[in-house]
Amino acid sequence: MVTIRDVAKKSGVSVATVSRVLNANGYVHEDTRKKVMAAVAELKYSPNEVARSLYKKKSKLVGLLLPDITNPFFPQLARGVEDEMQKGGYRILFGNSDENAEKELDYLNTFIQNNVVGIISATNNKAKNNYKNLSIPVVFLDRTSSDYPSVYADGKEGGRIAAQEIVERGSKRITILKGPAHIQPAQDRFQGALEVLSQSNIDFHVMSTTSFAFEDAEKWAKELFATYPDTDGVLASNDIVATAVLHEALRLGKSIPKELQIIGFDDVPQSSLLFPSLSTIRQPAYEMGKEAAQLLVKIINQEKIQQQQVQLPVTFIDRNTTRKVDTNG
Amino acid sequence: MVTIRDVAKKSGVSVATVSRVLNANGYVHEDTRKKVMAAVAELKYSPNEVARSLYKKKSKLVGLLLPDITNPFFPQLARGVEDEMQKGGYRILFGNSDENAEKELDYLNTFIQNNVVGIISATNNKAKNNYKNLSIPVVFLDRTSSDYPSVYADGKEGGRIAAQEIVERGSKRITILKGPAHIQPAQDRFQGALEVLSQSNIDFHVMSTTSFAFEDAEKWAKELFATYPDTDGVLASNDIVATAVLHEALRLGKSIPKELQIIGFDDVPQSSLLFPSLSTIRQPAYEMGKEAAQLLVKIINQEKIQQQQVQLPVTFIDRNTTRKVDTNG
DNA sequence: CTTAAATGTGTAAACGGTTACATATCGGTT
DNA sequence: AACCGATATGTAACCGTTTACACATTTAAG
């Protein structure tokens, strides 16, 4: 391993001077700068970030904690974070929490131990006090929070839009699939839908679900049609659940969207590939990741931030599990 | 920040002794061990990995380089790697290369600068000499290599199986979609299929494609049916491309699998959710990730390894874009 | 021409751990 | 009682950087 000392020796200056040219810090004569750069090139020297990090008590690393990269909503988020962080020269220390408080804490610890400059967390459990005594900035992603910086989509509004659209398109007996109680965004969606539906004169049911795994979703889909066979509209808690409902409905020979309309949530990439393609409420996952990264970088750089909370808009994606709206009213 | 010195002071011993109890190293009296542990608990001390890493010239970090986490094949791989690494106490430094040699080199550099103990790379460009002078172990994932440890699925065999199955099920005019030339696994699949088809007396065409992006795939799908309208069997280079072909075929009103059979590659999670669900050659992505992680850990620990190359088997997943095989021969 | 400020460079002390080496005590064997 | 290995602990060097401080030289101002 070639160190700063080797460079110093080769260029005939002290390590301090080498350090100064590398960091464009303090005074250094142009001639010596050139000599040093030449030595750097010749020796293919690149500074040891670990040593740097130790002295400065700051690395160029940020921690990214996601519930599960295998859930198709998260790769987009992660990519947004990564692309943006890369620009600022930051690297990603990555972990999956499985929404498990212990795992989460474990990761948080190792993030700290590795001197990360900041953390982006998209986890949703109540173990908020895991974050209480952190000395470094955290931004929450896909998760509302009034006391921390956070970036999220307008879930409640999404729920409202979904309900409005499905009603407008003629569903009369709607079932809302309420997502897991501990996942805040799922609750927001539910509240939005509830708000609209309860103010209408439409019959509706609420079914609670406890995970976002496809295998579980298949069971609830079956249960849904067993319990409420005359449902003609489903507001699903996300696209995975919507997909399971779609499958079960097709299996039962229901005609979609004629007899049954379905609206998902997220607009995961595969939703447009389903048949019929899934109407859904789109969250701009990639942009959310980018926003979170930008916000964190600003905080790290101690820039003034106007808004600690960044709420991104949500849009209805009108595909083929909903009917075309009757423009004659 | 509480350091080892604080713990030493609180427990009335030297830092060396504290270090010894923390690492269960050398002799330490049971009574002092208890005193130290008490101080550790009271101060909530946890050692600074950066300092440790600097002295030992070894961190608990491994670098993971993927082409693009947004491609649905990779989250599974990543999760396999992460789960396995987590067990050994290793953390993941993560990057997307976009198959771009410059980005790849950039990440490799920062991995090194951060003292990672090993690297897992799933990239496919020819910039192999990026890895030539690395002083730390690398294992390649989803990529064959005779000179480096690597974990991959048997792509050639997969190509053979796909060709055999589609022929056995009665396709007579087959089009092979050959994946990007620089992606080795795609070429292996192609070679396997080619081998079987050229030994048969079946008509077939080969169409070259240059990426795995869905938007591009849609174009090739259109081109495919424009150029070879009487194709009755498609061997796609992966599930994304197969999905695009499936979509285009449905749009053209083709009956699947009656008029047209399609076989994909990878068995990405969404493939079972398509309609009709996609027959495909399954690569055990999660297991591949785990295997790669296990192999890397063994190399790090200097354990004897029997096989530098780990080839995992590939299986045909018989869904609904292929006909049922005629058991009467 | 004198002097202060600006420029240029080196020495050594941090950063927070680990460990080689030195030293001291303990327990068991002859 | 003398001796030796095992046990127990402390001191200080080291890992590769950055930077405070000291010092020397150049430049600009009066």
Do residues A197 and A175 make contact, with C-beta atoms less than 8 angstroms apart?
no
Positions 94-123 of B with beta carbon below 7 A from strand C are none
Cis preceding linkage at B47, omega within 30: no
Inter-residue contact A241 to A217 (CB < 8 Å) = yes
In chain A, residues with a C-beta closer than 8 Å to the C-beta of B68 are 79
- A114 in reach of chain B (CB within 8 A): yes
CB contact under 8 A, B247 and A214: no
Distance B25 CA to C27 C1' (A): 22
Torsion angle, CA of A5/A9/A13/A18, rounded to 10 degrees? -40
Residues of chain A with pLDDT under 50: 329
pLDDT score at B244: 95
Q: Do A92 and B95 touch (CB under 8 A)?
A: yes
Compute CA A319 distance to the chain's CA centroid, rounded to the nearest angstrom: 24
Write phi, then psi, for A206 (nearest 5 degrees): -120, 130
Cβ partners under 8 Å of residue A150, min gap 6: A139, A140, A141, A143, A144, A308, A309, A310
3-state secondary structure of B164: helix
Residue stretches of chain B with pLDDT short of 70? 126-128, 326-329
- What is the Cα–Cα distance from A20 to A28, expressed in whole angstroms? 7
Strand order in the sheet with A173-178: A203-208, A173-178, A233-235, A261-266, A279-282, A315-317
CB contacts, 8 Å: A114 with chain B: 49-50, 59, 61, 91
CATH architecture, domain defined by B4-47: Orthogonal Bundle (1.10)
**CA-to-C1' distance for A32 and D17, Å?**
20
pLDDT score at B18: 98
Q: Residue A163 in contact with residue A193, Cβ under 8 Å?
A: yes
DSSP one-letter code for B324: P
Question: CA torsion sign, A52 to A57 to A60 to A63?
Answer: positive
CA distance A107 to B99: 29
Q: Using CA atoms, how far apart are residues A261 and B175, in angstroms rounded to an integer?
A: 37
Give residue for tokens 């810090």: A25
* Chain A interface includes B91 (CB < 8 A): yes
Angle between helices B4-11 and B30-43 (to 10 degrees): 120
Q: Which of A59, A61, A69 to mutate to test the interface with B (most CBs of B within 10 A)?
A: A69
User: How many angstroms separate the CA atoms of B242 and B214, rounded?
Assistant: 10
Q: What's residue B131's pLDDT?
A: 87
| Separation of CA B283 from chain center | 10
Count Cβ atoms within 10 A of the Cβ of residue A328 and give its class: 0-12 exposed, 13-18 middle, 19 or more buried. Answer: exposed
CA distance A272 to A319: 8
| pLDDT score, position B329 | 46
CATH architecture of residue range(s) A56-153+285-314: 3-Layer(aba) Sandwich (3.40)
- pLDDT at B36 (0 to 100): 97
Report the phi/psi class of residue A5: left, alpha or beta, with left for phi > 0 and alpha for psi in -120 to 50.
alpha
Q: What is the DSSP string of A277-298?
A: PPEEEEP-HHHHHHHHHHHHHH
Q: What is the CA radius of gyration of chain A?
A: 26
CA distances from A243 to A73, A167, B98 (A): 14, 20, 29
User: Can you point out the beta strands (E) in chain A?
Assistant: 61-66, 91-96, 118-121, 138-141, 150-153, 173-178, 203-208, 233-235, 261-266, 279-282, 309-312, 315-317
Instruction: Calculate the alpha carbon distances from B62 to A4, A99, B139, B151 in Å.
Output: 24, 23, 11, 16
Strands (E), B29-171: 61-66, 91-96, 118-121, 138-141, 150-153
Does residue A110 sit at the B interface (CB-CB below 8 Å)? Answer: yes
- Whether any strand D atom is under 7 angstroms from the Cβ of B17: the reply reads yes
Q: Locate the domains of chain A by residue range.
A: 4-47, 56-153+285-314, 155-283
In angstroms, rounded to a whole number, what is the distance separating the alpha carbons of residues B135 and A252? 59
Q: Which of A82, A86, A59, A51 is nearest to A69 (CA)?
A: A82
What are the backbone angles phi and psi of residue B117, rounded to the nearest 5°?
A: -85, -15
Task: Please state the CATH superfamily assignment of the domain spanning residues B155-283 in this structure.
Answer: Response regulator (3.40.50.2300)
Taking the C-alpha atoms of residue B320 and residue B323, their distance in angstroms, rounded to an integer, is 7
Cβ neighbours, 10 Å, residue A281: 29
User: Strand pairing of A261-266 and A233-235?
Assistant: parallel
Q: Dihedral angle at the C-alpha atoms of B60, B65, B69, B72, nearest 10 degrees?
A: -110
Residue type, A80: G
Strand C contact at CB of residue A275, distance < 7 A: no
How would DSSP label each residue in A104-170? Answer: HHHHHHHHHHTT-SEEEE---SSGGGGTTT-SS-EEEESS--SSS-EEEE-HHHHHHHHHHHHHHTT
Compute CA B313 distance to the chain's CA centroid, rounded to the nearest angstrom: 14
Pick the CATH number of B57-153+285-313 from 3.40.50.1000, 1.10.630.10, 3.10.20.30, 3.40.50.2300: 3.40.50.2300
Q: Is the CB of A172 under 7 A from strand D?
A: no
- CB nearest to A113's CB, from B47, B74, B96: B47
Residues 6+ apart with CB under 8 A from A49: A59, A60, B110, B113, B114, B115
pLDDT at residue A126 in the model: 63
Domain A56-153+285-314 and domain A155-283, same fold? Reply is: yes
